[in-house]
Structure 1
Amino acid sequence: MQILTLFVVALVALEHVGIAALEMFAQPDVQANAFDMPVNFVKTKEAQTALSNQGIYNGMFGVLIMMMILFFTGSTLKIILILMLLYIIVVAVYGAFTATKKILYLQGLPALIALIFVIIFYH
Protein backbone atom coordinates (compact mmCIF):
# COMPACT_ATOMS: atom_id res chain seq x y z
CA MET A 1 0.00 0.00 0.00
CA GLN A 2 2.97 2.31 0.47
CA ILE A 3 3.74 2.27 -3.25
CA LEU A 4 0.08 2.99 -4.07
CA THR A 5 0.15 5.84 -1.54
CA LEU A 6 3.24 7.37 -3.13
CA PHE A 7 1.63 6.96 -6.55
CA VAL A 8 -1.47 8.85 -5.40
CA VAL A 9 0.70 11.62 -3.95
CA ALA A 10 2.71 11.75 -7.19
CA LEU A 11 -0.55 12.20 -9.11
CA VAL A 12 -1.34 15.22 -6.93
CA ALA A 13 2.14 16.57 -7.71
CA LEU A 14 1.66 16.02 -11.43
CA GLU A 15 -1.72 17.73 -11.23
CA HIS A 16 0.03 20.83 -9.88
CA VAL A 17 2.55 20.76 -12.71
CA GLY A 18 -0.38 20.53 -15.13
CA ILE A 19 -2.16 23.42 -13.44
CA ALA A 20 1.07 25.42 -13.73
CA ALA A 21 1.20 24.73 -17.46
CA LEU A 22 -2.41 25.85 -17.80
CA GLU A 23 -1.78 29.03 -15.82
CA MET A 24 1.44 29.89 -17.61
CA PHE A 25 1.05 28.71 -21.20
CA ALA A 26 -2.60 28.09 -22.11
CA GLN A 27 -4.57 30.41 -24.35
CA PRO A 28 -6.67 33.03 -22.52
CA ASP A 29 -9.92 31.36 -23.64
CA VAL A 30 -8.84 28.09 -22.04
CA GLN A 31 -7.65 29.86 -18.89
CA ALA A 32 -10.90 31.81 -18.59
CA ASN A 33 -12.93 28.62 -18.86
CA ALA A 34 -10.72 26.70 -16.43
CA PHE A 35 -10.72 29.39 -13.77
CA ASP A 36 -14.27 30.76 -14.24
CA MET A 37 -13.02 34.22 -15.19
CA PRO A 38 -14.20 36.61 -17.92
CA VAL A 39 -12.07 36.12 -21.02
CA ASN A 40 -11.61 39.88 -21.42
CA PHE A 41 -10.09 40.01 -17.94
CA VAL A 42 -7.82 37.02 -18.56
CA LYS A 43 -6.48 38.67 -21.73
CA THR A 44 -5.17 41.67 -19.79
CA LYS A 45 -1.45 41.93 -19.15
CA GLU A 46 -2.05 42.14 -15.39
CA ALA A 47 -4.11 38.94 -15.34
CA GLN A 48 -1.54 37.12 -17.46
CA THR A 49 1.21 38.23 -15.08
CA ALA A 50 -0.80 37.09 -12.06
CA LEU A 51 -1.60 33.73 -13.67
CA SER A 52 2.04 33.17 -14.58
CA ASN A 53 3.10 34.02 -11.04
CA GLN A 54 0.54 31.60 -9.63
CA GLY A 55 1.64 29.03 -12.18
CA ILE A 56 5.26 29.09 -11.11
CA TYR A 57 4.18 28.48 -7.52
CA ASN A 58 1.99 25.53 -8.50
CA GLY A 59 4.64 24.07 -10.78
CA MET A 60 7.44 24.36 -8.28
CA PHE A 61 5.25 22.92 -5.55
CA GLY A 62 4.47 19.91 -7.73
CA VAL A 63 8.18 19.44 -8.49
CA LEU A 64 8.98 19.80 -4.78
CA ILE A 65 6.53 17.05 -3.84
CA MET A 66 8.07 14.73 -6.43
CA MET A 67 11.57 15.54 -5.18
CA MET A 68 10.55 14.78 -1.60
CA ILE A 69 9.27 11.37 -2.71
CA LEU A 70 12.63 10.69 -4.37
CA PHE A 71 14.92 11.99 -1.63
CA PHE A 72 13.21 11.09 1.65
CA THR A 73 11.73 7.94 3.20
CA GLY A 74 10.10 6.76 6.38
CA SER A 75 8.70 9.07 9.02
CA THR A 76 10.50 12.11 7.58
CA LEU A 77 8.73 11.69 4.25
CA LYS A 78 5.41 11.03 5.98
CA ILE A 79 5.62 14.32 7.93
CA ILE A 80 6.69 16.26 4.83
CA LEU A 81 3.84 14.83 2.76
CA ILE A 82 1.26 15.49 5.48
CA LEU A 83 2.37 19.12 5.70
CA MET A 84 2.42 19.60 1.93
CA LEU A 85 -0.98 17.99 1.43
CA LEU A 86 -2.46 20.06 4.25
CA TYR A 87 -1.06 23.14 2.55
CA ILE A 88 -2.83 22.21 -0.69
CA ILE A 89 -6.10 21.59 1.15
CA VAL A 90 -5.94 24.98 2.93
CA VAL A 91 -5.16 26.77 -0.34
CA ALA A 92 -8.01 24.92 -2.08
CA VAL A 93 -10.48 25.94 0.64
CA TYR A 94 -9.32 29.55 0.35
CA GLY A 95 -9.59 29.36 -3.44
CA ALA A 96 -13.11 27.96 -3.17
CA PHE A 97 -14.16 30.98 -1.12
CA THR A 98 -12.33 33.61 -3.17
CA ALA A 99 -12.23 32.33 -6.76
CA THR A 100 -14.28 29.28 -7.78
CA LYS A 101 -15.68 26.30 -5.93
CA LYS A 102 -14.16 24.02 -8.60
CA ILE A 103 -10.79 24.44 -6.87
CA LEU A 104 -12.10 22.61 -3.83
CA TYR A 105 -12.99 19.56 -5.91
CA LEU A 106 -10.17 19.65 -8.44
CA GLN A 107 -7.29 20.40 -6.07
CA GLY A 108 -8.58 19.92 -2.54
CA LEU A 109 -10.29 16.56 -2.96
CA PRO A 110 -7.31 14.76 -4.56
CA ALA A 111 -5.04 16.21 -1.87
CA LEU A 112 -7.46 15.07 0.85
CA ILE A 113 -7.56 11.55 -0.59
CA ALA A 114 -3.76 11.50 -0.79
CA LEU A 115 -3.54 12.78 2.79
CA ILE A 116 -5.81 10.00 4.03
CA PHE A 117 -3.67 7.46 2.18
CA VAL A 118 -0.47 8.88 3.70
CA ILE A 119 -1.87 8.89 7.23
CA ILE A 120 -3.34 5.39 7.04
CA PHE A 121 -1.02 3.46 4.74
CA TYR A 122 2.43 5.08 4.81
CA HIS A 123 4.69 3.81 7.60
Structure 2
Amino acid sequence: MYTFATLVTLLVAALHAGFLVLEMFFWDQPLGRKAFGQTRESAAASKVLAANQGLYNGFLAAGLIWGVALGPAGDGIKLFCLGCVIIAGVFGALTASRKILYVQAAPALLALLLLLLARG
Protein backbone atom coordinates (compact mmCIF):
# COMPACT_ATOMS: atom_id res chain seq x y z
CA MET A 1 0.00 0.00 0.00
CA TYR A 2 2.84 2.38 0.86
CA THR A 3 4.38 1.82 -2.58
CA PHE A 4 1.08 2.64 -4.28
CA ALA A 5 0.73 5.78 -2.15
CA THR A 6 4.25 6.77 -3.19
CA LEU A 7 3.47 6.24 -6.89
CA VAL A 8 0.33 8.38 -6.69
CA THR A 9 2.27 11.05 -4.80
CA LEU A 10 4.87 11.05 -7.58
CA LEU A 11 2.05 11.38 -10.11
CA VAL A 12 0.85 14.49 -8.28
CA ALA A 13 4.43 15.82 -8.29
CA ALA A 14 4.68 15.15 -12.04
CA LEU A 15 1.39 16.95 -12.67
CA HIS A 16 2.66 20.00 -10.80
CA ALA A 17 5.96 19.93 -12.65
CA GLY A 18 3.90 19.89 -15.84
CA PHE A 19 1.83 22.84 -14.60
CA LEU A 20 5.08 24.69 -13.94
CA VAL A 21 6.21 24.15 -17.53
CA LEU A 22 2.84 25.12 -19.00
CA GLU A 23 2.42 28.22 -16.85
CA MET A 24 5.99 29.50 -16.93
CA PHE A 25 7.00 28.72 -20.50
CA PHE A 26 3.92 28.00 -22.62
CA TRP A 27 1.22 30.21 -21.09
CA ASP A 28 0.97 32.49 -24.12
CA GLN A 29 1.80 29.79 -26.67
CA PRO A 30 -0.85 27.66 -28.42
CA LEU A 31 -0.32 24.70 -26.07
CA GLY A 32 -0.73 26.80 -22.94
CA ARG A 33 -3.63 28.83 -24.29
CA LYS A 34 -5.46 25.63 -25.22
CA ALA A 35 -4.73 23.95 -21.87
CA PHE A 36 -6.06 26.91 -19.89
CA GLY A 37 -8.70 28.21 -22.30
CA GLN A 38 -7.00 31.57 -22.82
CA THR A 39 -7.25 33.96 -25.71
CA ARG A 40 -4.05 35.42 -27.10
CA GLU A 41 -4.88 38.74 -25.44
CA SER A 42 -5.77 37.39 -22.02
CA ALA A 43 -2.68 35.14 -22.01
CA ALA A 44 -0.43 38.07 -22.88
CA ALA A 45 -2.00 40.20 -20.15
CA SER A 46 -1.62 37.52 -17.47
CA LYS A 47 1.73 36.00 -18.48
CA VAL A 48 3.66 37.34 -15.49
CA LEU A 49 1.00 36.17 -13.04
CA ALA A 50 0.94 32.72 -14.66
CA ALA A 51 4.72 32.44 -14.38
CA ASN A 52 4.48 33.21 -10.66
CA GLN A 53 1.73 30.60 -10.31
CA GLY A 54 3.90 28.10 -12.18
CA LEU A 55 6.76 28.70 -9.78
CA TYR A 56 4.51 27.87 -6.83
CA ASN A 57 3.45 24.66 -8.57
CA GLY A 58 7.13 23.82 -8.94
CA PHE A 59 7.67 24.29 -5.22
CA LEU A 60 4.81 21.86 -4.51
CA ALA A 61 6.35 19.32 -6.89
CA ALA A 62 9.75 19.77 -5.24
CA GLY A 63 8.24 19.31 -1.78
CA LEU A 64 6.51 16.11 -2.81
CA ILE A 65 9.66 14.71 -4.40
CA TRP A 66 11.65 15.66 -1.31
CA GLY A 67 9.12 13.89 0.91
CA VAL A 68 9.21 10.77 -1.27
CA ALA A 69 13.02 10.78 -1.27
CA LEU A 70 13.00 10.71 2.54
CA GLY A 71 10.73 7.65 2.61
CA PRO A 72 8.60 7.27 5.74
CA ALA A 73 10.61 10.05 7.41
CA GLY A 74 9.16 12.41 4.78
CA ASP A 75 5.52 11.53 5.40
CA GLY A 76 4.88 14.83 7.18
CA ILE A 77 6.25 16.77 4.22
CA LYS A 78 4.12 14.74 1.81
CA LEU A 79 0.99 15.23 3.92
CA PHE A 80 1.60 18.97 4.14
CA CYS A 81 2.24 19.39 0.40
CA LEU A 82 -0.70 17.17 -0.58
CA GLY A 83 -2.92 19.20 1.76
CA CYS A 84 -1.73 22.39 0.08
CA VAL A 85 -2.50 20.94 -3.35
CA ILE A 86 -6.00 19.93 -2.24
CA ILE A 87 -6.75 23.36 -0.77
CA ALA A 88 -5.41 25.11 -3.87
CA GLY A 89 -7.41 22.76 -6.09
CA VAL A 90 -10.66 23.39 -4.22
CA PHE A 91 -10.03 27.13 -4.28
CA GLY A 92 -9.26 27.00 -8.00
CA ALA A 93 -12.40 24.98 -8.66
CA LEU A 94 -14.50 27.55 -6.81
CA THR A 95 -12.91 30.60 -8.37
CA ALA A 96 -11.57 29.63 -11.80
CA SER A 97 -12.65 26.29 -13.27
CA ARG A 98 -14.36 23.20 -11.90
CA LYS A 99 -11.90 21.14 -13.99
CA ILE A 100 -9.19 22.00 -11.43
CA LEU A 101 -11.01 19.92 -8.85
CA TYR A 102 -10.55 16.79 -10.96
CA VAL A 103 -7.11 17.49 -12.42
CA GLN A 104 -5.43 18.83 -9.28
CA ALA A 105 -7.37 18.21 -6.08
CA ALA A 106 -8.69 14.68 -6.74
CA PRO A 107 -5.30 13.04 -7.43
CA ALA A 108 -3.83 14.77 -4.36
CA LEU A 109 -6.75 13.61 -2.21
CA LEU A 110 -6.25 10.05 -3.45
CA ALA A 111 -2.53 10.23 -2.65
CA LEU A 112 -3.23 11.68 0.80
CA LEU A 113 -5.81 9.01 1.64
CA LEU A 114 -3.53 6.22 0.41
CA LEU A 115 -0.66 7.59 2.47
CA LEU A 116 -2.82 7.77 5.58
CA LEU A 117 -4.09 4.22 5.04
CA ALA A 118 -0.56 2.94 4.46
CA ARG A 119 0.63 4.51 7.69
CA GLY A 120 -2.05 2.62 9.60
> Structure 1 length normalisation: TM-score?
0.86
Code of the residue aligned with 2:24 in structure 1: it is M
Moved more, 11-20 or 24-33: 24-33
Quote the Cα distance in structure 2 between the aligned partners of 1:79 and 1:14: 19
Offset at residue 72 of structure 1 (A) = 4.7
2:43 alignment counterpart? 42
Distance 1:32 1:83, change over 3 A: same
Distance 1:103 1:20, change over 3 A: same
What percent of counterpart residues are identical?
31
SS at match of 2:63: helix
RMSD: 1.6
| Count of residue correspondences | 119
2:8 alignment counterpart? 8
Alpha carbons 2:17, 2:57 under 8 Å: kept: yes
Code of the residue aligned with 1:38 in structure 2: it is T
2:90 alignment counterpart? 93
Structure 2: runs of 5 or more not aligned: none
Quote the Cα distance in structure 1 between the aligned partners of 2:37 and 2:105: 17
2:55 alignment counterpart? 56
Distance 1:79 1:95, change over 3 A: same
Quote the Cα distance in structure 2 between the aligned partners of 1:122 and 1:3: 11
Quote the Cα distance in structure 2 between the aligned partners of 1:68 and 1:78: 6
1:7-26 correspondence runs (5 A): 7-26=7-26
SS at match of 1:73: helix
Offset at residue 55 of structure 1 (A) = 0.5
Quote the Cα distance in structure 2 between the aligned partners of 1:39 and 1:117: 40
Offset at residue 27 of structure 1 (A) = 5.2
Offset at residue 101 of structure 1 (A) = 0.9
Offset at residue 51 of structure 1 (A) = 0.6
Structure 1: runs of 5 or more not aligned: none
